[in-house]
């Protein structure tokens, strides 16, 4: 079987699997968040937190819950890293430095999982499991909770209530993330991923050198790393490491895990607003952008000229030899189109133009399909913008799902879409203007600029992947990237929840003959066009200095 045919079959199998679970899984998540019943374990959690899960919250109270929980999580994870040498199962590792501990704490709490350290030689078993793995669950649950709050804003009327943050947080963790992660971890263990709490082993390689092999609870962390679109790997090589991703089956399973919730949440949205066709329109827009990016990156990597590339069947530098060109490109697109950040190959080695596509996937806000929760609410914000543009074209007051998109709503949506571009472009400009940025670049010219641009794009959009070789473990980058991760995660949530509250207070507007049918293919095309045009106008100059210049000069 030719490699190209094998790649086509893998993509087809992946799409079929996602389509198969889209309806039942999306319906299940809708039932979870609409349920009025509390499981016994959930009641125990509520009592331990002192929370009343039945108390409705308006958007300021919901936001306070999100920020308070996240702030406590950052503090706990920071302290855990600083005292890990005094805890059991420390493996003899030293405490993490203050700037790196801050960066890592913010990274995992913000669902970014940017790593300026090598996990297998820096983090103890307790830090990995009680700190990083726990945040993989709850940071994903926070994103899902905010998305559900926005959906309730569209679904409810004449009330400012958006549900209860603590109930949404606990239900998302207990009823969705934990059960699937347990099953996925068992499957990964059966397929060869390691899971233990052993000591570091020293082996003698074929060349006679000594090499330290770090064990750990890898399968359990790998499952939620992908399912929660987190991305922080147990090992520095992430999913290119055979202990995390031993074969082609696990590679495809991990891609499925990082896509399954983002691609199923539009069905949840459709069920909760009472119109599943609206969910189909959103998932179609997500799927179109994702598929086009997969085709573009795969084609560029296969088509790269040169004798070595022709002999290898593609540009294989930096790619995982066990998987090949296609699965590496599929993983790369899927991880940058979501807020995952896990990698099975190193994006620094991709061609200039395909690296630009990966950057663009993050720059559009990671909404195709996006992160767990953040992808859905990001896409709904873009839907509001698209409806507003359509209203301007025909001279009508824009409406979406029976809600008027007025001055207040469009201001909130505009603030949302301006936050991350500002963080990316200002952060990159500051880094390039200071010696710290230039010293961190392992390449010169356009590719070196792409390394810096990629770092701030990844941090501000809560992705977490990086161009390999970029020297980010310095006080300057640990601090500035940490701030970008925090602001890029929580500032948008302020505007999302404010928009949800504004929509929930409105009285529904009956549809008329002039109402834009947002469940039709025409709107899906308008939504895709609006996303690409807005992103292109915002980031084209930066892309022209980096990946486009590199690709056109090749």
pLDDT, tens digit (0-9, with 9 covering 90-100), for 125-156: 888 888 999 999 999 999 999 999 999 999 99
pLDDT at 448: 86
Higher pLDDT among residues 319 and 372, named by residue: 372
CA-wise closest residue to 375 among 340, 419, 410, 402: 340
Q: pLDDT: is 236 or 540 the higher one?
A: 540
Calculate the dihedral angle through the C-alpha atoms of 406, 409, 412, 418, rounding to the nearest 10 degrees: -70
User: Residue 321 CB: number of other CB atoms within 10 A?
Assistant: 10
Statement: residue 381 has pLDDT above 80: yes
Say if residue 308's pLDDT is above 50.
no
> Which residue would you say has higher pLDDT here, 393 or 382?
382
Return the higher-pLDDT residue of 226 and 115.
226
Instruction: Give how far the C-alpha of residue 110 lies from the chain's centroid of Cα atoms, to the nearest Å.
Output: 10
Q: What is the pLDDT of residues 454-510, one digit of tens each?
A: 999 999 999 988 887 777 888 999 999 999 999 999 999 999 999 999 999 998 888
What does the pLDDT read at residue 440? 77
- Residue 322's pLDDT is what? 78
pLDDT of 158 > 70? The answer is yes
d(CA 554, CA 351) in angstroms, rounded, equals 9
pLDDT band per the 50, 70, 90 thresholds, residue 405: very high
Measure the CA–CA gap between 322 and 193, rounded to whole angstroms.
15
Average pLDDT over residues 167-179: 97
Over 60: is that where the pLDDT of 439 sits? yes
The residue-averaged pLDDT of 196-210 equals 75
Residue 4: per-residue pLDDT: 83
CB 95 within 8 A of CB 83: yes
Q: Is the pLDDT of residue 306 over 60?
A: no
Q: What is the 3-state secondary structure (H, E, C) of 494-546?
A: HHHHHHHHHHHHCCCCCCCCCCCCCCCHHHHHHHHHHHHHHHHHHHHHHHHHC
Q: Is the pLDDT of residue 17 over 50?
A: yes
Mean pLDDT of the chain: 90
Q: Report pLDDT digits (tens) over 210-238.
A: 777 777 788 999 999 999 999 888 888 88
Q: How many CB atoms lie within 10 A of CB 112?
A: 33
Residue 206's pLDDT is what? 73
Q: What is the pLDDT of residue 20?
A: 98
At residue 553, the pLDDT reads 79
**Quick one: pLDDT band at residue 307, thresholds 50, 70, 90?**
very low
Instruction: Please tell me whether residue 482 adopts helix, strand or coil conformation.
Output: helix
For residues 387-399, average pLDDT: 85
- Collapsing DSSP states into helix, strand and coil, what is residue 82? helix
Q: Above 80 in pLDDT, residue 415?
A: yes
pTM above 0.85, yes or no: yes
Averaged pLDDT, 181-203: 88
Confidence of residue 311 (pLDDT cuts 50, 70, 90): very low
Confidence of residue 261 (pLDDT cuts 50, 70, 90): very high
The owner of tokens 């069947």 is 313
**pLDDT value of residue 1:** 67
Peptide bond preceding 153 in cis form (omega within 30 of 0): no
Percent of the chain with pLDDT over 90: 66
**φ and ψ at 104, to 5 degrees?**
-70, -40
Q: pLDDT at position 310, please?
A: 47
| Angstrom distance (rounded) from CA 190 to CA 207 | 31
Give residue 513's pLDDT: 75
């Amino acid at each position: 079987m030719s490699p190209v045919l094998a790649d086509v079959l893998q993509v087809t199998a992946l799409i079929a699997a996602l389509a198969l679970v889209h309806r039942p899984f999306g319906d299940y998540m809708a039932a979870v968040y609409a349920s009025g019943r509390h499981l016994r374990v959930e009641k125990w959690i509520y009592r331990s937190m002192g929370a009343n899960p039945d108390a409705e919250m308006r958007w300021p109270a919901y936001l306070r819950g999100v920020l308070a929980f996240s702030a406590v999580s950052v503090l706990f994870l920071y302290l855990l890293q600083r005292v890990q040498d005094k805890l059991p199962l420390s493996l003899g590792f030293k405490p993490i430095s203050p700037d790196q501990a801050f960066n890592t704490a913010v990274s995992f709490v913000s669902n970014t999982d940017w790593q300026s350290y090598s996990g297998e030689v820096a983090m103890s078993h307790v830090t990995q499991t009680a700190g990083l793995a726990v945040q993989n669950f709850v940071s994903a649950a926070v994103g899902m909770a905010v998305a559900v709050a926005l959906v309730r804003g569209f679904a409810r009327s004449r009330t400012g209530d958006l549900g209860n943050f603590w109930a949404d947080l606990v239900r998302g963790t207990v009823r969705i993330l934990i059960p699937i992660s347990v099953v996925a971890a068992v499957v990964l263990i059966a397929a060869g991923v390691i899971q233990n709490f052993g000591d570091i082993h020293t082996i003698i390689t074929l060349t006679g050198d000594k090499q330290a092999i770090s064990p750990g609870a890898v399968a359990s962390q790998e499952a939620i790393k992908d399912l929660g679109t987190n991305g922080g790997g147990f090992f520095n090589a992430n999913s290119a490491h055979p202990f995390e991703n031993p074969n082609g089956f696990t590679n495809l399973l991990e891609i499925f895990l990082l896509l399954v919730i983002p691609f199923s949440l539009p069905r949840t949205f459709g069920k909760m607003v009472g119109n599943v066709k609206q969910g189909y329109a959103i998932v179609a827009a997500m799927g179109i952008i994702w598929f086009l990016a997969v085709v573009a990156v795969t084609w560029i990597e296969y088509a790269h000229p040169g004798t070595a590339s022709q002999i290898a069947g593609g540009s294989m530098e930096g790619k995982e030899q066990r998987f090949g060109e296609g699965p590496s490109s599929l993983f790369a697109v899927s991880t940058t189109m979501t807020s995952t950040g896990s990698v099975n190959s190193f994006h620094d080695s991709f061609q200039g133009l395909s690296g630009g596509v990966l950057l663009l996937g993050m720059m559009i806000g990671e909404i195709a399909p996006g992160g767990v929760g953040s992808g859905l609410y990001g896409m709904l914000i873009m839907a509001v913008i698209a409806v507003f543009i359509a209203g301007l074209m025909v001279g009508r007051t824009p409406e979406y799902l029976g809600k008027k998109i007025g001055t207040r709503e469009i201001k909130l949506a505009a603030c949302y879409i301006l936050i991350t571009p500002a963080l990316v472009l200002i952060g990159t400009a500051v880094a390039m203007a200071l010696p710290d940025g230039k010293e961190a670049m392992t390449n010169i010219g356009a590719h070196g600029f792409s390394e810096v641009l990629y770092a701030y794009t990844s941090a501000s959009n809560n992705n977490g992947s990086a161009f390999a070789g970029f020297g980010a473990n310095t006080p300057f980058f640990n601090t500035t990237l940490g701030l970008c991760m925090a602001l890029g995660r929580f500032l948008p949530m302020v505007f999302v929840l404010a928009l949800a509250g504004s929509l929930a207070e409105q009285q529904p507007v009956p549809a008329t003959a002039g109402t834009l049918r947002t469940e039709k293919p025409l709107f899906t095309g308008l939504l895709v066009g609006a996303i690409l045009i807005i992103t292109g106008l915002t980031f084209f100059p930066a892309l022209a200095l980096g990946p486009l210049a590199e690709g056109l000069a090749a």
